[in-house]
Structure 1
Amino acid sequence: MSKPTVHDIAREAGVSLATVDRVLNSRPGVREKTVKRVKDAVQKLGYTRDIYAANLARQRRYEFVFVLPRGPSQFLVALRDAILETAAGPLSDRANIRILSAPYSDPVAVDKVFRQIEQEQVDGVAIMGNETPMVRDGIARLKARNVVVVALVTDQTNSARDHFVGIDNTAAGRTAGVLMGRFVGDRAGKVAVVVNTMQARDMVQRRMGFDDVMAERFPHIQVLPSVEGRDDHELTARVTEQCLRLNEDVVGLYCVGAGLRGVTQVLRGRGQAHDLVVVGHDLTPHARDALEAGVVDVIINQNAGHIARSAMRVLRAHCDGVEVIASQEKIRIEIVLRENLT
């Protein structure tokens, strides 16, 4: 039996092909009763749209923009490279993909990027940024123009974004807590915590997950207040040095985000490169070197390539009005030790 077509839908619903096209593409100008008749016909006939063929017939091209923070983070470099690699692959068929960037801490520059996008014909935007009122308002303006918005790596929960692509950061923090507690063992002492910024939701969620596990399962270990490196390796080194100088009984260090280079620099300089249990995030080139040298004990990783590909698929799905395949887009938490480096 042949697959149902739009002609079959029009015949079943008693409407024109033009009306069927308007309903299938969610265009205005069709009465609600007619829309219902068309949708009922679609369900009765078991019609499934060939989105690729439909977009090809309409000569549709997607216009996607990725907005990333500007900074020295090796993870950002890896994510940018992964986006460019995805843009050159099959997922970018009939799509134009650009990357714009602005410094984390410059609200004027962030707003300028949003204003630039608003002046263009854009179908979807994937953004990685701190959850600030300015970013939230920028997302709201994009949504008012029917632009699909995806949050990358760190969520924008209080915004109108359509989807989040990244690991479960609370679970990642809990994982870090279990690993830290197990590696420290029965030793009593303190754990230092170095974050990029507590304005980023991923940092907050990881810290909360970490604290919960440490309090529940390892009460003999005291977790110190977070110190912020603000994506600046020299600042990270200074605040880490100060924290360790003021707390001589530190037995572990949790580097929650960017800043591992500054942390390991201090540990080597103080002769503590192998004294503390160090847990970090993201398998960057520096993290790999630190694992191999035994300065870092474990890295909790999220695959930048998977994030880039997932964001592209999610943007397409939302633009086409089709369901996102949740299992395919789940970004998994990877635990990397020196023993399983590849």
Structure 2
Amino acid sequence: MAKVTIQDVARVAGVSVATVDRVLNRRPGVRSVTVNKVETAIRDLNYQPDRIAARLARSREYRFCFVLPDRAGDFWERINEEVRTMAERMAGERVAITVKRVDVFDGELLASTLDSIGDVHDGVAVAALDHPAVREAINALAARGVTVVTLVSDVPGSKRMHYAGIDNSSAGRTAASLMGRFLRGLTGKVGLIAGSLALRDHIERQFGFEQVLTHEYPNLQVLPVRESRDDWRKLEEMTAQLLAEHHDLVGIYNVGGGTRGIVSALEAAGRAKDVVLLGHDLSDANRKALIRGTIDAVINQDPGHEVRSAIRVLIAKADNVPLIESQERIRIDIFLRDNLP
């Protein structure tokens, strides 16, 4: 069957092509009865607008900015690489993507970076800190007509349009269920380490983990959470301290990044096989530690899916078309050494 064109829609609706274009792009000046005719024709013909062709025809370029952490780390380097790959791919579709890197643990600095983004941008994707200044900066962008998508970590009280990331509370509960099953029948303490308790994703993972482990596995005691800022060197020191202070330590859950520091400390202490270790994100270092057996399970989110989802949402908003919600749902993966991709 021949592809349905905008001319077909105009003919069936009994209007001009220019009127159909105004309806498709939600521009004013079209009577409601005419809008209904055009929308009916679109549904009846199953017309799918060629958004790329429309941008090329209008010489319209979308400009998006990704605001990402400036710290080193396997997961965020993968995110950054995915953004670079998509920027190259989307350039031919008149979508320009730039990256700003900033210390996202510093709320005032992150807010200042968001405030500096000019109106030349149609949309922003930000790895966000749940901080009052950041929330206000997101709201200010939205008020200026700039679409904001939060990436990996959310600010739900803000006027961001969409969150591209996993359900972090579910991820924490999943980690607790895995820990409880791995340690079934044993009694002891479980270390809990977060990158920052100002990051919403880390807070939600911690809450979910403590909720399940405390209520369903009374044989295990969760130790007070420690903050590492995802620095693997700090994680190495923290793990050594946990081992020295708690001889009955039987498990560690790392909510954030830098798990290789925990791996290093456990292996140096000869405790790699008797302390259950759960972490996030299937980095190269975590993959190797899984195979060696130092890490017992990795809870993973697909950085490529998250970046592509953020871009799809920003484009959908710019094109004024609805989202396909199921396409933007980021799943939680659980990897053991036996099912590594």
TM-score (structure 2 length as normaliser): 0.90
Cα separation, 2, equivalents of 1:303 and 1:92: 25
Cα separation, 2, equivalents of 1:82 and 1:58: 28
What's the counterpart of residue 290 of structure 1?
289
What's the counterpart of residue 274 of structure 2?
275
What's the counterpart of residue 35 of structure 2?
39
1:129 Cα deviation (Å)?
A: 2.2
Q: Which amino acid aligns with 1:287?
A: N
Worse overlay, 91-100 or 268-277: 91-100
Using a 3 Å threshold, how does the CA distance of structure 1 residues 86 and 11 change in structure 2: closer, same or farther?
Answer: closer
Q: Percent identity?
A: 40
Contact 2:123 2:314 in 1 (8 A): yes
What's the counterpart of residue 166 of structure 1?
165
1:90 Cα deviation (Å)?
A: 5.3
1:115 Cα deviation (Å)?
A: 2.8
The aligned runs of 1:86-235 (5 Å cut-off) are: 86-89=86-89, 93-117=93-117, 119-235=118-234
Q: Which amino acid aligns with 1:283?
A: L
What's the counterpart of residue 314 of structure 1?
313
The aligned runs of 1:11-30 (5 Å cut-off) are: 12=13, 21-28=21-28, 30=29
What's the counterpart of residue 240 of structure 1?
239
Contact 1:228 1:239 in 2 (8 A): no
Please give the per-residue CA displacement for 1:124-163, whole angstroms capped at 9, x wherever unaligned: 1111121111211111111111111111111111110001
- Cα root mean square deviation, aligned: 2.3
Q: Which amino acid aligns with 1:259?
A: G
Q: Which amino acid aligns with 1:104?
A: V
1:197 Cα deviation (Å)?
A: 0.6
Using a 3 Å threshold, how does the CA distance of structure 1 residues 145 and 10 change in structure 2: closer, same or farther?
Answer: farther
Unaligned stretches of 5+ residues in structure 2: none
What's the counterpart of residue 70 of structure 1?
70
Q: Which amino acid aligns with 1:185?
A: R
The aligned runs of 1:50-65 (5 Å cut-off) are: 50-65=50-65
Worse overlay, 278-287 or 84-93: 84-93
Cα separation, 2, equivalents of 1:265 and 1:91: 42
Report SS of the residue matched to 1:340: coil
1:180 Cα deviation (Å)?
A: 0.7
1:54 Cα deviation (Å)?
A: 2.3
What's the counterpart of residue 329 of structure 2?
330
Cα separation, 2, equivalents of 1:40 and 1:27: 14
How many residues matched?
336
Contact 1:127 1:151 in 2 (8 A): yes
Please give the per-residue CA displacement for 1:275-299, whole angstroms capped at 9, x wherever unaligned: 1010100011211121122111110
Q: Which amino acid aligns with 1:27?
A: R
Q: Which amino acid aligns with 2:39?
A: Q
Contact 2:255 2:279 in 1 (8 A): yes
Using a 3 Å threshold, how does the CA distance of structure 1 residues 113 and 92 change in structure 2: closer, same or farther?
Answer: farther
Report SS of the residue matched to 2:171: helix
1:7 Cα deviation (Å)?
A: 8.3
Contact 1:72 1:231 in 2 (8 A): no
Contact 1:10 1:38 in 2 (8 A): no
Contact 1:143 1:160 in 2 (8 A): yes
1:94 Cα deviation (Å)?
A: 1.4
1:83 Cα deviation (Å)?
A: 1.2
Contact 1:101 1:113 in 2 (8 A): no
Cα separation, 1, equivalents of 2:206 and 2:96: 37
Unaligned stretches of 5+ residues in structure 1: none
Contact 1:126 1:149 in 2 (8 A): yes
Q: Which amino acid aligns with 1:152?
A: L
Cα separation, 2, equivalents of 1:240 and 1:287: 16
Please give the per-residue CA displacement for 1:297-316, whole angstroms capped at 9, x wherever unaligned: 11011111111112111111
TM-score (structure 1 length as normaliser): 0.90
Please give the per-residue CA displacement for 1:30-51, whole angstroms capped at 9, x wherever unaligned: 3xxx442232112332354332
Cα separation, 1, equivalents of 2:336 and 2:5: 53
1:178 Cα deviation (Å)?
A: 1.2
